[in-house]
Amino acid sequence: MIDLAGKASLVTGGGRGIGREIALKLAEAGADVAICDIEPESAQQTAADIEKHGRKSLALKADVSNAGDVSTMFSSFLDAFGKMDVLVNNAGITRDGLIMRMKDADWDSVLAINLKSAFLCCREAARPMMKARGGKIINIASVVGLMGNAGQANYAASKAGLIGLTKTLARELATRAINVNAVAPGFIQTAMTDKLSPQAKESLSARIPMQKLGLPDDVANAVLFLASSLSDYVTGQVLAVDGGLVM
Ligand SMILES: NC(=O)c1ccc[n+]([C@@H]2O[C@H](COP(=O)([O-])OP(=O)(O)OC[C@H]3O[C@@H](n4cnc5c(N)ncnc54)[C@H](O)[C@@H]3O)[C@@H](O)[C@H]2O)c1
């Protein structure tokens, strides 16, 4: 039985999709969970749903690629919760295109929102976690960061970078009992994959040994394990949740 009672947690991009499911799952296990999102209404909705579980919550508006926003967000979080036990870096975007046509702005925004954001949030989280001599950082990467994907040079580079960041921080923070791991989802049914045509979804499913897309709940279950004491001796790992796509 996973018990996260009293654990102060923050999920970025928790307004919808995988982040929302992670936030609700942590709350179900007893954690207090703050939600940050660039879209404040969706963050408020998730926070209200968490409070229905009887847990403390807080909706924070922030663009996680902006250092000023991240610094303000952590101040608000620590004022409200007093400590940080779990950080889930989940916010992410896609701006797909083949390399010849990829615009600088599409490269820059994906690297900033998917990778720089995690650097900024981990840097802020490291201080309270080191002081407490414990913590769990979970970065939501992607199988695309492991295997590449035509049309996603920016996204694949950002997620591969996130895996490098995860392994490095795992080494830096291990002696303080801070675990840093990544979850690499395969293709999961969310707004991000809703953009794909039915044919693209069919051809994707055919490549997956389990022959179907995953659900946000599948990813949230892996995060729950990595946020709990069940994973205390696991660090620097990339846990693929992908129906067997990468093995
Ligand atoms: N859906 C998939 O198949 C899939 C597969 C692998 C990895 N992932 C990763 O999982 C994570 C969540 O994906 P999703 O499918 O739920 O996406 P989504 O688009 O449904 O949700 C992303 C959330 O992040 C928020 N967000 C976007 N930019 C932000 C910013 N600058 N600051 C703060 N919040 C911001 C959005 O408002 C949204 O609430 C992403 O990191 C994504 O790369 C998704």
Mean local confidence (pLDDT), 89-96: 97
In a domain, 177, yes or no: yes
- The pLDDT, as a whole number, for residue 53 is 86
CATH number at 118 reads 3.40.50.720
The tally of domains found in the chain comes to 1
Query: Does the annotation count 233 as an active-site position?
Result: no
Question: Which atom of ligand 1 sits closest to the CA of residue 64?
Answer: 32
| Token digits of residue 71 | 């610094």
- The pLDDT, as a whole number, for residue 229 is 98
Distance 16 CA to ligand 1 centre (A): 8
In a domain, 3, yes or no: no
Identify the band that residue 195 occupies on the pLDDT scale cut at 50, 70 and 90: confident
Q: Is 19 in the pocket of ligand 1 (CB under 6 A)?
A: yes
In a domain, 39, yes or no: yes
Closest residue by Cα to atom 1, ligand 1, is: 188
Question: Which atom of ligand 1 sits closest to the CA of residue 112?
Answer: 31
- The pLDDT, as a whole number, for residue 201 is 82
First to last CA, the chain: 28
Q: Which of 173, 177, 149, 146 is closest to 159 using CA atoms?
A: 146
Can you tell me the distance from the alpha carbon of 123 to that of 165, in angstroms, rounded to the nearest whole number? 11
Can you tell me the distance from the alpha carbon of 107 to that of 94, in angstroms, rounded to the nearest whole number? 10
In a domain, 1, yes or no: no
- The pLDDT, as a whole number, for residue 202 is 83
Neighbouring CB atoms inside 10 A of 112's CB total: 17
In a domain, 98, yes or no: yes
In a domain, 26, yes or no: yes
Burial of 41 (0-12, 13-18, 19+ CB in 10 A): exposed
Q: 25-50 pLDDT, tens per residue?
A: 999 999 999 999 999 999 999 999 99
User: Taking the model in full, what pTM does it have?
Assistant: 0.98
Select which of 74, 77, 107, 155 is catalytic.
Answer: 155
- The pLDDT, as a whole number, for residue 199 is 84
Q: Which of 106, 107, 135, 132 is closest to 121 using CA atoms?
A: 135
Q: Are 91 and 37 in contact (CB under 8 A)?
A: yes
Q: Residue 155 belongs to what domain range?
A: 8-241
Q: Is 41 in the pocket of ligand 1 (CB under 6 A)?
A: no
In a domain, 145, yes or no: yes
Can you tell me the distance from the alpha carbon of 192 to that of 85, in angstroms, rounded to the nearest whole number? 28
Mean local confidence (pLDDT), 115-132: 98
Identify the band that residue 123 occupies on the pLDDT scale cut at 50, 70 and 90: very high
Distance 175 CA to ligand 1 centre (A): 31
| Token digits of residue 214 | 């995953």
